[in-house]
Amino acid sequence: DLHPKQSPHHLVTMRSAYLKLRLMVERGCIFVGHGLAQDFLMVNLFVPPSQIIDTVEIFHKDRMRYISLRFLANYLLGTDMQQDTHDSIEDATTAHQIYRKAVEFKANGTFDKVLNDIYEFGQKTDWKLGVEESSSPA
């Protein structure tokens, strides 16, 4: 989705994106996403942990596998994302929706149960899940 002639999105140069990210970090912005540590490593940018909300970490149990954004989107939101091509805007929007679900589950005291259910369902389905197959209660 980052090819200048094929992307439906307005693209900026790598330098411009980096400078904007640095400004956001310096201003204390909170970044919400999925697998952000790897993203920030790729652009060689340090972001204080206090400014990162990462759904890959929120929906993770110790000594267990990390859950893909696509699986979480399928299970929690009932949407099947990125069937054909990668879309970074879809990733960001989906990660934010999943974060809001986590906040909701924590507020009503069901987060631990939902997380256990996700792992149980994932193990049962070998972590392969499409919307049409989903019978998630979330």
Categorize the per-residue pLDDT at 2 as very low, low, confident or very high, splitting at 50, 70 and 90.
Answer: low
**What is the structure's pLDDT at 55?**
98
| CA angle 60–121–84, rounded 5-degree value | 80
Q: Which residues pair with 123 in a beta bridge?
A: none
pLDDT exceeds cutoff 80 at 84: no
Categorize the per-residue pLDDT at 23 as very low, low, confident or very high, splitting at 50, 70 and 90.
Answer: very high
> Do residues 133 and 124 make contact, with C-beta atoms less than 8 angstroms apart?
no
pLDDT exceeds cutoff 50 at 14: yes
**Cα–Cα dist 23/98, whole Å:** 26
When pLDDT is averaged across residues 114-129 and rounded to a whole number, the result is 94
When pLDDT is averaged across residues 55-84 and rounded to a whole number, the result is 92
Categorize the per-residue pLDDT at 130 as very low, low, confident or very high, splitting at 50, 70 and 90.
Answer: low
**Cα–Cα dist 71/92, whole Å:** 15
When pLDDT is averaged across residues 61-78 and rounded to a whole number, the result is 95
Q: What phi and psi, each to the nearest 5 degrees, are found at residue 110?
A: -110, 5
pLDDT exceeds cutoff 90 at 24: yes
Show the 3-state SS of 46-59: CCCHHHEEEHHHHC
Residue of higher predicted confidence among 50 and 1: 50
Residue of higher predicted confidence among 7 and 124: 124
**Cα–Cα dist 48/16, whole Å:** 21
Mean pLDDT of the chain: 89
**Cα–Cα dist 29/21, whole Å:** 9
**What is the structure's pLDDT at 10?**
75
